[in-house]
Structures are given as C-alpha cells and as structure tokens.
Amino acid sequence: MTTPQTIIEKLWQSHVVHEQPGSPTLLYIDLHLVHEVTSPQAFEGLRQRQLKVRRPDLTFATTDHSIPTTDRSLPILDPIAAKQVNQLEINCREFGIPIEGIHGARQGIVHVIGPELGLTQPGMTVVCGDSHTATHGACGALAFGIGTSEVEHVLATQCLLQRPSKTFEVRVDGTLKPGVTAKDIILALLSRIGVGGGTGCVFEYRGSAIRSLSMEQRMTVCNMSIEGGARAGLIAPDDTTYQYLNGRAFAPKGAAWDAALARWKKLPTDEGARYDKEISIDADTLEPMITYGTNPGMGMRINDPIPDPSQISDPLERDSVSKALHYMGLEAGKSLVGHAVDVVFIGSCTNSRISDLRSAAALLKGRKVSPKVRVMIVPGSQAVKAQAEAEGLPKIFRDAGCDYREPGCSMCIAMNGDQLEPGQYGVSTSNRNFEGRQGKGGRTFLVSPLTAAATAVAGVVTDVRTML
C-alpha cells in the first residue's frame, strides 16, 4: 500500500518537472496571473535576454493595484501610475498575453477574477507576483505569491525552482454563531499563531466549519494565509467547489468537465496522512474579531480589552506590542468598542466579492452611515459590480450614504490615491494593518464586512451582534 498523502504533497508531486540532488525542484506552473505592479521589470528582463513567453495560453493579466476607483471614462491623473498601467498593456500585446485592462469587461482584482472566471481550478499550481495569491487555494490549488524575478522565470519557462514546504493542518470544527464570519476564523487563527507561525508551511484548512463555508468565504480564509507566514493555504475540493466552478468562462465543458472532475476527486488528503504541524480551532467559541495593532496577528475578540504590554514576558514581543499601541494611539486595557473611526473601507481581495457586498447591504439597508465617517465600498471586479447592480445593492449603499466605487485594490494598498490621512482611524475589511499600509500615518483595524458595516452606521467600532 502506498503511504497516505496530503493534498499538498499530491499537488507538489504531480508538478515536478525535474529533480536533481543538491538543487531545488523544478515545478511546473499551470496558471500565471500577472498585474501591473510586479511585472514590468520581468518583461524588461525578457527583452534584454531576447526571450519569449513560453505559455501565453497559461498566462492571464489584469490591472488592479495602481488604478483609480473613480469614473473609468476619465484618464488616470497620476502620470507614474498611468505609465505603469499602459506598460502592462504594451507588454501583454508584445508577448501575446490575454489581458483585462482598465476598460475590460472582466477587469478586477486579480484574486477575485481568477476563481470568478474559472481560471483557477482544483489540482493546479497557480502563481502571481502578489502575496495574496494564496486566495486561489480555496479552489483546491497550490497557489502562492512570487517576486518579480520569479515572474520572469515563469514567463520564460512556465517553471519555478522551489523547495517543498512543511504541511500544516488547520482544523476548524463546529458551527459559526450569527455575526461571526470566515474573516473572523482567519483573524482568530492569526491571533493564535502570529505572523510568523506558518513560515515555511502550506496550510490545509479542514474540518466541518471549513466544509460549510461557501467558496467565497473559503477565499477569504485562504487569502490571509500569507499573514501567518504561509506562502499558500488551501482547501480540498468538494461539491461546493465543483458547483461553483461548473459553467464558469474558463472551466472545462462537456467531456472535458467529466474528465477533470474525475481527476479532482482524487485530490483530497488521504485517510491517515500526516502533517508536520497541526492546530485546532473550535468554531462554536469564535466571536467577531478585530485587530488592535500593526500586524494581522495582533487581533482579539471585539469585546476584549486591548492587551497590556507589561503583562507580556518576552521582551521583544512586549516591545512590539508597545510600539504598535503607540503608533495606533491606543491605551492598554481599554475596549476598542466605541472607539471613533474616520473611514470604513469595504473591499480588497479578502472581502470584495458579491457575498461580502450582500452582507454589508443587509446591514445597511434602511439605515444611514454616521455623518462622521467616510464609507468606501469597492467591488472586487466588474462582474461583482454588475451582479450588485442587478440586485440593487448600489442604491442601498448610496441611500445609506456610502461612496460606491469602481473595482480595484483601492485603499487596501493605498497606491491609487484612496488612502487614510495621517492619524486617521480606518476600519477595513482588507488584509493588512501594517504601519502606513492604508496611507502614511493611517491606523487600521481589520474586521469582517459585517463588523465594518455596523461600525459605519454607528460611527464607532461596534459589535455587529448588537445590530442583528
């Protein structure tokens, strides 16, 4: 009998092109997603070496990071951003890569459109010059972020030199209570393992609570794997995955679908397979989460007191929390509930899909956002935007007093002018609360779309369960 394997090992082994003692493994990449920020230097490298793109048919580009989320019929005002966006168009034309540019009908955040178009499929290796590529793991793919040198390697050879990762089982069993979401699962995990807890590992999320998540919720969980230091995080495919994929633009059709389905059903982790590391989380005990500090591991239950650095024994950790509270302008021991906020941002590759907008809309319907708060809602893609319109969500948002915008990364990374001002507090559904991440001097609390919507209405950090 063969040794039982995890899905992570199966995915790795099925993509080994070449192995040589003393060298990393040459791994084949099934799908390479490209965006404007991390690719221009890679294309320039190809030109300098006079290389072509080996598999433009396995490569797909879009523009998301640098583009404004305002009226798309207007030119990009920032000349540096405009040049970068234009350069991607030029590069894709020259190298024959399909692109959904700024005016594309299927444009969107790269990690939203990959699954949405059926580009991402179970059993694939997926890379992108972006650390949130882990998102695609929700479809049962081994998906990880790479740097620009590696973008060039994949463009030229469709391969990467890689070393195997450790396997890390993240088991979440039980049932989420009302007001507790997929975002709270991942923020709870990060608060337990810290931002380096998964370094060198790939997470496999398992257990009944994970199984009962929708595909979009699974994407939220996998998306933030990198915030725990894991390059990838994935969920084995099941009927939820297959139902989601069936009929999508690039998903296999007819006999090819049946053949793919037969392959995909062999992917889940074998009974008895062992992991290098394990952690277990009880979904029944989870509560809405919020971050208080300057990395995504600095999170707590929304009603918890802000941690007191003097209670932390490790001196470096004590120093980190102390510095974080200083930057955030927060006082140890107090509650964040009731803390005033200036901006609420609902969007990003973590939480900008139609289900995220629906959950925000359900809370905002018939209510007004606080006049003290600027509320930005940024759909993840043109398809999400179109679906939201079909359901009347933009009207709900606008009636409530929100600013509803065009698709892009927006204030998650604050490259496009959508940003916090120095000292401002933002409640955000995005993935990073690093110093200055959402604008120089800006201070971020990471939360779920439900908590963000509740906070928007109240004008202060709010436990959404008081409004359900």
Partner 1 sequence: MKPFTNFESRLVPLPNNNIDTDQIIPARFLKTTSKEGLDKQLFCDWRYDNQGNPKPDFILNQPRAKGAEVLLAGDNFGCGSSREHAPWALTQFGFRAVISTSFADIFKQNALKNSLLPIVVSPAVHAELLALPPDAKVSIDLVAQKLKLPSGRTVEFPVDEFSKHCLVNGVDELGYILQQQPSIAAFEARREGSINTLAG
Report in angstroms how near the CB of residue 66 gets to partner 1 at its nearest.
5
DSSP one-letter code for 306? P
Decide if residue 252 touches partner 1 (CB under 8 A). yes
Spatial distance between the Cα atoms of 250 and 245, rounded to a whole number of angstroms: 9
Options 10, 111, 136, 153; binder of partner 1; rule CB under 8 A? 153
86 Cβ neighbours under 8 A, 6+ residues apart: none
Burial class of residue 391, CB neighbours in 10 A (0-12, 13-18, 19+): middle
Interaction pattern, residues 194-233, with partner 1; x per rule: CB under 8 A: -xx--xx-------------------------x--x-x--
Decide if residue 311 touches partner 1 (CB under 8 A). no
Spatial distance between the Cα atoms of 387 and 354, rounded to a whole number of angstroms: 7
- Beta strand pairing call for 159-162 and 25-28: antiparallel
Q: Are 67 and 81 in contact (CB under 8 A)?
A: yes
Task: Return the residues of window 389-418 that contact partner 1 according to CB under 8 A.
Answer: 413-415
**CA dist list (Å): 64 to 36, 143, 158, 179, 188:** 7, 19, 23, 30, 28
Report in angstroms how near the CB of residue 209 gets to partner 1 at its nearest.
27
Options 5, 9, 26, 279; binder of partner 1; rule CB under 8 A? 26
Options 64, 100, 152, 169; binder of partner 1; rule CB under 8 A? 152
Amino acid letter at 196? G
Decide if residue 191 touches partner 1 (CB under 8 A). no
Report in angstroms how near the CB of residue 131 gets to partner 1 at its nearest.
4
Options 130, 204, 356, 463; binder of partner 1; rule CB under 8 A? 130
Options 8, 11, 34, 81; binder of partner 1; rule CB under 8 A? 81
How long is the chain? 468
Options 47, 83, 103, 266; binder of partner 1; rule CB under 8 A? 83
Report in angstroms how near the CB of residue 163 gets to partner 1 at its nearest.
7
Size of residue set near partner 1 by CB under 8 A: 82
Options 5, 87, 212, 322; binder of partner 1; rule CB under 8 A? 87
Query: Residue 145's beta-bridge partner residues?
Result: 128
Sheet holding 99-100, edge to edge: 99-100, 59-62, 31-34, 125-128, 142-145
Options 63, 121, 370, 462; binder of partner 1; rule CB under 8 A? 121
DSSP one-letter code for 270? P
Structure tokens at 242: 């297959």
Number of helices (H), then strands (E), in the chain: 15, 19
Q: What angle do CA 73, 78, 79 make, to 5 degrees?
A: 100
Report in angstroms how near the CB of residue 65 gets to partner 1 at its nearest.
8
Structure tokens at 397: 């948002």
Decide if residue 10 touches partner 1 (CB under 8 A). no
Decide if residue 73 touches partner 1 (CB under 8 A). no
Q: Which is nearer to partner 1, 59 or 181 (CB)?
A: 59
Decide if residue 459 touches partner 1 (CB under 8 A). no
Among the listed ranges 155-163, 181-189, 348-356, 453-461, the one in contact with partner 1 (CB under 8 A) is: 155-163
Amino acid letter at 198? G
Report in angstroms how near the CB of residue 284 gets to partner 1 at its nearest.
31
Handedness of CA 368, 374, 375, 377 (dihedral sign): positive
Query: Residue 16's beta-bridge partner residues?
Result: 27
Decide if residue 428 touches partner 1 (CB under 8 A). no
Options 418, 432, 448, 460; binder of partner 1; rule CB under 8 A? 432
Report in angstroms how near the CB of residue 238 gets to partner 1 at its nearest.
20
Decide if residue 3 touches partner 1 (CB under 8 A). no
Q: Which is nearer to partner 1, 70 or 87 (CB)?
A: 87
